[in-house]
Amino acid sequence: MSNIAGKAYAMNVITPIRWYMTWINRLIFKIALKNPETLKGLITLSLIHYARWVIVPRSGFPRLDPSQPKEDLQYSYMLFFSNFNGSWDQYVDSFTFAIPAGLDLFWKWNIRYPKSVPLTPFHKYIRHNQIDTLHYYNAYPMASSNDIKSAQKIKKALIDFNTTSVNKTPDDFLKDYNKLLIDLQHHFGDMKPTPIVSLSADAVKKRYLQSHLNSN
Amino acid sequence: MATKNGNATALTVLSPIKNAVMGETSCADITRERCLSLPIHEKSPLARVPNTYLARLFVLDDVYYESLPASDCVFNFSDITSFFSDSARKKALPRKDHLKSKYLVFSSNFYGDLDAYLAGLWKNWSYIDLSGNQRDVRHIWEYCVAFDRVTDISSFIDYIKRCQLDASLFFNGSTDDSLQEQLKSLYLKQEFTRFAIEHQGKNAAEIQQDFKTFIQRVQPENLSSPTWPPGKSAP
């Protein structure tokens, strides 16, 4: 199992929802899509790379051949996949404390959803319905989603600065350079492997070192 | 359809695994073992697949029974009727569901269009397993239902599309730049941060001269080099 890839954690949650209530969820998701400000809480939390909600109708599991038994389900299912920075507890707790109403809106119609407040039943609900990842790949294990957004700003600023200021007199160059550093100060930072904060992260590191030993 | 958010795409694939046993091991367990033994980070086969931001594989064995106590938002008549009737109390329990197949789940967040991405997946997924054998993408999907009909790029793309589920909501908390652009930006962030630290307190002419040398070295507009390789896990 490998829910961790560098600074990212892969969460998979599958929860049942009454098939005749899925239209409400679809409507809520559609409204959220059309009005991105409804997701402002998630953006402010700033710890997610990418996340998605997928509703699988009870007759919607892929069936590719007549030899494959047809699913006979009483509920539809909602899949939630997230790629976030930090630990499991930090992520789940930040939802509860920062955007509990939004969270309840997305899961409200799921069977036995306990609501995001109080915390302990919500923790149990997520743990109960979570599936571990077997292989998790992250193109930038050393970077958080904030690093990627900061890097985008630094690249643009660096190219602009190089175009406008590099051939000025040394004193004017320094003035612009100092302004550049002040403008970018919140975006700097040395990126390194994430500290080992859990037994799972330690296990991933050991697997990585072992695979390197095997290949050398 | 919410499978796209700007240039970023969310691919969700559920491929049914054959309900068969090979020797003493089920096809699902063979698939699980193969996913588990994929090399990670830079050596993951997904590091070779162009424009993959983050991706994962797991096996969905079954759905869960909601056995935990919680109130059920609108269907609480049973709270009243169950005072009077045992059967009403029992009927208020959630139903039990079981899947008849296990599913290999592949979820990927990537830049660009689906067909080009899947073609890249077919062509570039490659790694050497622990026994020293060269493996391609067919090794992971081998025991999935109807995958034996996949013989080339176009049949692979068709197959994955048959297994694809649309996202109802795809949230992008990062950027939707190409992976090359993201990796180059991260490389520049790292290098420029170090440059700024090393040049604190130096005089204007020296910083200017060194900055020109720095720009020549890092080539900010050259996306292919120098840059971070995909999956880079150590400085």
A149–B175 CB contact, under 8 Å: yes
Predicted local confidence at residue A210, as pLDDT: 73
Looking at the complex, report in whole angstroms how far the Cα of residue A125 sits from the nearest Cα belonging to chain B: 7
Predicted local confidence at residue A37, as pLDDT: 81
Looking at the complex, report in whole angstroms how far the Cα of residue A96 sits from the nearest Cα belonging to chain B: 17
Domain ranges of chain B: 4-63+98-165, 177-235
B52–A139 CB contact, under 8 Å: yes
pTM: 0.93
Give the pLDDT mean for B37-56.
96
A215–B10 CB contact, under 8 Å: no
Candidate from A137, A155, A171 with C-beta closest to B44: A137
CA distance B22 to A71: 23
Give tens-digit pLDDT for A20-76.
999 999 999 999 888 888 888 888 888 999 999 999 999 999 999 999 999 999 999
B95–A75 CB contact, under 8 Å: yes
Q: Reduced to 3 states, what is the DSSP secondary structure of residue A132?
A: coil
Do B105 and B30 form a contact (C-beta atoms < 8 A)? no
H or E segment and range at residue A10: strand A8-18
Q: Enumerate the residues of chain A whose CB falls inside 8 A of the CB of residue B228.
A: 140
Return residues 48-77 of B near A (CB < 8 Å).
52-60, 63-64, 66-73
- Which residue, A45, A26, A36, is CA-closest to A99? A45
Q: What is the ipTM of this complex?
A: 0.94
Give tens-digit pLDDT for B183-233.
999 999 999 999 999 999 999 999 999 999 999 999 999 999 999 999 999
Looking at the complex, report in whole angstroms how far the Cα of residue B173 sits from the nearest Cα belonging to chain A: 5
Give tens-digit pLDDT for B159-185.
999 999 999 999 999 999 999 999 999
Predicted local confidence at residue B73, as pLDDT: 54
What is the percent of chain B where pLDDT is above 70? 95
Judged by a CB distance cut-off of 8 A, whether residue B90 touches chain A is no
Q: Enumerate the residues of chain B whose CB falls inside 8 A of the CB of residue A189.
A: 189, 193
Predicted local confidence at residue A96, as pLDDT: 84
Predicted local confidence at residue A212, as pLDDT: 66
Residues of chain A where predicted confidence (pLDDT) is lower than 50? none
Give the pLDDT mean for B71-90.
69
